[in-house]
Structure 1
Amino acid sequence: MSKALRFRLLRAALYWVGFAPAVWVFYLGFTNQLGANPVRTLEQELGIWTLRFLIATLMVTPLRNVTGISLLRYRRTLGLLTFYYALLHFTTYMLIDYRLDLQAIAADIVKRPYITFGMLAFAILVPLAVTSNDRMVRRLGGAWAKLHRWVYLAAAAAAVHYLLVVKSWPMEPLVYFAIVAVLLAYRLGKHLRRRRRPAVA
């Protein structure tokens, strides 16, 4: 089996495994097994999986630097899974929860900070997903890397969004927030070290 074929098969398997939680939670919704507030549960589950895949995407580079394990070829797949879950989360909110009541949605964005942060994260992920293909990489050149650094702001906004959604602040949102904070600190530290190298030389 060639390396190209093996990569395509593994990427396809990653998509199948990645979409399994969405299929499962929608199945639970269609069979009335999401509890007393199924729409809210559906939104939260899709949102949590969005954050999980976003964290997995951000962990690819630190994992390679720290352990030598390289999953760079699958980072785009993880990034697209992040966007697809964010899109499902957003669509559930827009269509099922608010039934496209744009006036109520606009008021929600202004009045509720967690919605503001969630919308910010989604707005950033859209252009990142649109420009994730090879054609856009070639077309944008060096600007592509600069654009995709916005993923760190999306991660921060998503973590704050999840933290503010819950009222009692249970452990899970705090754990995700801490993981994102560590990943952002790692990226910032790497950037600062890179800037200092010419001065030392």
Structure 2
Amino acid sequence: MSLSDRINAGLRRVPTWPLYAMGALPPFWYFYLGLTGGLGAEPISALEHRLGLLGLQFLLLGLAVTPLRRFAGINLIRFRRMIGLLAFYYICMHLLTWLVLDIRDPARIWADIVKRPYITVGMVGFLALVPLAATSNNASVRKLGKRWRQLHWLVYPAVVLGAVHFVMLRKGWQIEPLVYLAAFVILIVLRLIPRPPVVRRSARA
């Protein structure tokens, strides 16, 4: 048995519901750290950053599912929905932190979205993720049929916009956001590479 087969056999024994529960905890832990001084001198900014970064990391992991299966033989398909929903959850928490703890003035929200390009880009990326999260259930898959896959192509502009939002937020050419942007582009290219045709050997007489 190959290494990928052993990994897949182990993954098949892992239930998804505890992973959902564990995935919901980090925002609350970070919020506790912010209240107790564990996030430094600017806890709100640090909380926003950590939640947004978690969202990007889970988007990155979601994009990696297909290349991992195709090129490494590791099958994470049964976890892909969970990964995507957790990514959306972290990004929602990132947005709520900005709205409730940072802005705190509803009159400023629209003005900031229009005035600050990095917020505009991030908001467009978030809006692209909303229909993906809303149709991530089995009922939507059955109802939409082939259109479900077409709709979920929105993940590509969404993740690129999220990475560009991170680059613009940091201001200047810093390494970390550029690494994320490059990783997203590489994974998108790997996902779009057509699968080689399967050559069937004819049975011997």
1:53-79 alpha-carbon deviations (Å, 9 max, x no partner): 000001000100001111101100000
Aligned equivalent of 2:26: 21
Aligned equivalent of 2:17: 12
Q: Sort the Cα spacing of 1:8 and 1:135 in 2 relative to 1 into closer, same or farther, 3 A.
A: farther
1:140 paired to 2:140: no
CA RMSD of aligned residues (A): 2.1
Q: Which moved more, 1:107-116 or 1:53-62?
A: 107-116
Aligned equivalent of 2:182: 178
Task: Considering fraction of residues, name the structure with more helix.
Answer: 1
Which amino acid is the alignment partner of residue 151 of structure 1? Answer: V
Name the CA distance, whole Å, in 2 between partners of 1:92 and 1:98: 9
**Is this contact kept in 1: 2:167–2:174, CA < 8 A?**
no
Which amino acid is the alignment partner of residue 68 of structure 1? Answer: G
Q: Which moved more, 1:176-185 or 1:23-32?
A: 23-32
Aligned equivalent of 2:51: 46
Alignment partner of 1:57 out of 49, 62, 77: 62
Name the CA distance, whole Å, in 2 between partners of 1:121 and 1:33: 30
Aligned equivalent of 1:82: 87
Instruction: Give the SS at the match of 2:41.
Output: coil
1:110 paired to 2:114: yes
Instruction: Give the SS at the match of 1:105.
Output: helix
TM-score, structure 2 normalization: 0.84
1:33-91 alpha-carbon deviations (Å, 9 max, x no partner): 21121111111110000000000001000100001111101100000001100110111
Which amino acid is the alignment partner of residue 190 of structure 1? Answer: P
Q: What are structure 1's unaligned runs of at least 5 residues? A: 1-5, 195-201
1:121, distance to aligned residue in structure 2 (A): 1.2
Which amino acid is the alignment partner of residue 156 of structure 2? Answer: Y
Name the CA distance, whole Å, in 2 between partners of 1:64 and 1:110: 41
Aligned equivalent of 1:37: 42
Q: Which moved more, 1:29-38 or 1:158-167?
A: 29-38
Aligned equivalent of 1:162: 166
Identity value in percent:
49
Q: Sort the Cα spacing of 1:35 and 1:109 in 2 relative to 1 into closer, same or farther, 3 A.
A: same
Instruction: Give the SS at the match of 2:26.
Output: helix
1:189, distance to aligned residue in structure 2 (A): 3.5
Aligned residues: 187
